[in-house]
Amino acid sequence: MEKKLSPKKTIFWERAIPDSIAYYEMCGLTNDPLLNRVLKRCSYRKVFLLEMGGFVQDYARTEDPKKALRIEKLLEKSYRRVSCHLVKIPFWSVKKRLDFIVNHL
């Protein structure tokens, strides 16, 4: 799906291909040949990584805070692995995060 989109347009993804690296690592899978091939072809102009703040377990987020923090660290490592321009955003209010992103496009 990503390959079909214009690289000239600004597109926001909630998740992207490098996220898979983090989740593979969480499951103990570290060297998947298919994922490695796909990663070589993915490219992102800029990645905004929103740091975890108040943690709430719900129907979708079932892990504990310690595991969630580990996932956050693995996501950062994954994007750095594919040499993305990574911008970490602290746990600010939604408005402050949004303003920061808009000002840093």
60-82 confidence digits (pLDDT tens): 778 888 888 898 999 999 888 88
Q: Which two tokens stand for residue 73?
A: 């660290």
Residues 49 and 19 sit within 8 Å (Cβ to Cβ): no
* Alpha-carbon span 87 to 39, nearest angstrom: 19
Strand residue runs (E) in the chain: 47-50, 86-89
| Residue whose C-alpha is closest to residue 79's, from 34, 29, 42 | 42
CA 29 to chain centre: 18
pLDDT at 48: 95
Helix (H, G, I), strand (E, B) or coil at 38: helix
pTM of the model: 0.79
Which DSSP category does 2 fall into? G
Q: What is the pLDDT of residues 12-70, one digit of tens each?
A: 888 888 888 888 888 887 777 887 787 777 778 899 999 988 777 788 778 888 888 89
* Domain extents in the chain: 16-103
